[in-house]
Homo-oligomer: A and B are copies of this chain.
Amino acid sequence: MLVNGKAYRTVWFEKDRVRMINQLLLPHKFGIVDLKGVKDVADAIRNMVIRGAPAIGAAGAYGVALAALKGEDVQKAADMLRSTRPTANDLFYGIDYVLDALKGAEAKQSKAIAIKAAEDYANWSARACEDIGHYGASLMGEETNVLTHCNAGWLACVDWGTALAPVYAASRDGKKIFVFVDETRPRLQGAKLTSWELMNEKIPHAVIADNAAGHYMYRKEVSMVIVGADRIASNGDVVNKIGTYEKAVVAKDNAIPFYVAAPSSTVDLSKETGDSVPIEERDESEVLFVGKERVAAPGAKAKNPAFDVTPARLVKGIITENGIVSPLDIRDVFAKE
């Protein structure tokens, strides 16, 4: 997508290094970081310089390629990259994609193979999101008010986005789209990243406290909810940013369709239900502090789960790069591939 008139992806390979947009600086500053080693890539994922399931999938793929380029042990590199964050499936998928390409490769070709595989993966991922955009846009009327949670825009992917790709596609088709942007505590990716993306694309929107999503759904000011996903289990349960489950329940209470937009790399058929997916517990300081200001009482403790489980029964459809699928059909659709 364009930033100040120039096309960017969130992460890419350049010469002998991985480069990525530093998402910790947004929305106030746009900057690029250069990562020279696998550990740097792993740290960037762990510290959320890059975040969002498809984006960290591509970062993982590039990380393995970087290890291959430097003649390092790719299995060790893969292990280090896998250990950064436990919930998003795309991370493991992206890493495995490059490892699979290297299977049986001759040593002298492995550098070129690994880099090509990582580039192929990133290109596939960007294309998948673009396709998600077109399928998702087909669900939108000429005037549609979308509510979204967290950032599942192009910053969360290689390009285009998952939940926001349909917004961009529909807007470019000339539809009148308004977006309610959940600010998404504790890390405020909605306020910081989604509002920045929508400002760039000149799409009308309002940031709201997460608490206000229900209010606008109750008043029927929301036409549809679209969110991304970090992992989709075999039974169609969706693991996504903390708070997603609440939005899904409230959408159901108001008969507002609740969609999940995710590429096939997010599906994990090895998990029977969402309840068996590991939920990352992040540091309590993300809740107790906002920026440098402590908001909670001195001595108070916090709990900070980063994801939750939305049961399949609450999801109207999953928008994939191959079309819109009922969550109840996930097992059948993806087992065939």
Other-chain contact of A185, B185, B215, B253, B293 (Cβ < 8 Å): B185
A32 within 8 Å of B by Cβ? Answer: no
Identify whether the interface residues of A are mostly helix, strand, loop, or mixed: mixed
Residue of B nearest to A251 (CB): B249
- How far, in whole Å, are A21 and B132 apart by their CA atoms in the complex? 54
> Are B293 and A293 in contact, CB atoms less than 8 angstroms apart?
yes
Residue of B nearest to A241 (CB): B211
Contacts of A309 in B (CB 8 A): 215, 218
A1 within 8 Å of B by Cβ? Answer: no
- Whether A28 touches B298, Cβ cut-off 8 Å, given contacts A208-B303, A211-B184, A212-B304, is yes
A296 within 8 Å of B by Cβ? Answer: yes
Q: How far is the CB of A144 from chain B (nearest CB, A)?
A: 17
- Whether A295 touches B243, Cβ cut-off 8 Å, given contacts A208-B303, A210-B185, A303-B212, is no
Q: Name the interface size band of chain A.
A: 35 or more
> Are B212 and A305 in contact, CB atoms less than 8 angstroms apart?
yes
Q: How far is the CB of A120 from chain B (nearest CB, A)?
A: 33
> Are A288 and B245 in contact, CB atoms less than 8 angstroms apart?
no
Other-chain contact of A212, B28, B243, B250 (Cβ < 8 Å): B243
> Are B212 and A300 in contact, CB atoms less than 8 angstroms apart?
no
Which of A77-85, A86-94, A123-131, A187-195 makes up part of the contact surface?
A187-195
A295-314 CB mask vs B (1 if < 8 Å, else 0) is: 11111111111001100000
- How far, in whole Å, are A188 and B301 apart by their CA atoms in the complex? 15
- How far, in whole Å, are A243 and B213 apart by their CA atoms in the complex? 8
A186 within 8 Å of B by Cβ? Answer: yes
- How far, in whole Å, are A50 and B323 apart by their CA atoms in the complex? 53
Would you list 17 pairs from A and B whose C-beta atoms are within 8 A, ordered by A residue?
A27-B296, A183-B185, A185-B209, A185-B210, A186-B211, A199-B300, A205-B300, A205-B301, A206-B303, A208-B287, A208-B304, A209-B304, A213-B246, A215-B279, A245-B250, A290-B291, A291-B291
